[in-house]
Amino acid sequence: MKENGLIYTPRNATTASSPEPGMKRQILAYHHNLMLVRHHFSKGWKGTSHSHPHEQLVYVVGGRIQFVGDGKTIELCSGDSVIVKGNVEHWATALEDSEVLDVFTPYREDYASSQRKHYVERNEVS
């Protein structure tokens, strides 16, 4: 990716994918150090337990989720946030239809690889 001082991503620049039933994922602005991702979870969705080397900030825009990580279970609702350090096993369950913003550092190359060409062509600001 060409580096600029400003990387702009309008809301319609990327499309949401459905990596698993009950979840929609939209990759928003990112560069090699940082990534913003919007997730929509349908009530009853349960994510699989996983870990990754990335630091992750989770912000619940709307709805309610149960979040499990580092041996703790917490209920998060609109306006709540949690930080997950790298390599910590975690997962979530949607107690209601929910919208969640995730911030990753560094960026999730696995998420970006399928949208990279589209992203670079449309979102670099000169």
In terms of phi and psi (left: phi > 0; alpha: psi -120 to 50; beta: otherwise), the region of 78 is beta
**Residue 92 and residue 68 in contact, taking contact as beta carbons nearer than 8 Å:** yes
Q: Where does the pLDDT of residue 118 fall: very low under 50, low under 70, confident under 90, or very high at 90 and above?
A: very low
pLDDT in tens, 26-39: 999 998 899 999 99
The predicted pLDDT at position 34 comes to 95
Whether the predicted pLDDT of 119 surpasses 60: no
Mean pLDDT rounded to a whole number for the chain: 89
Q: Say if CB 102 and CB 83 are below 8 A apart.
A: no
Residue 82: which of 68, 93, 94, 96 has the closest Cα? Answer: 68
Give the model confidence (pLDDT) of 42-98 as tens digits: 999 999 999 999 999 999 999 999 999 999 999 999 999 999 999 999 999 999 999
Fold of 19-123: Jelly Rolls (2.60.120)
Q: Over 50: is that where the pLDDT of 11 sits?
A: yes
Q: What share of the chain is helix, strand, coil (3-state, %, to 5)?
A: 10, 50, 40
Structure tokens at 43: 């009530």
Q: What angle do CA 32, 76, 8 make, to 5 degrees?
A: 30
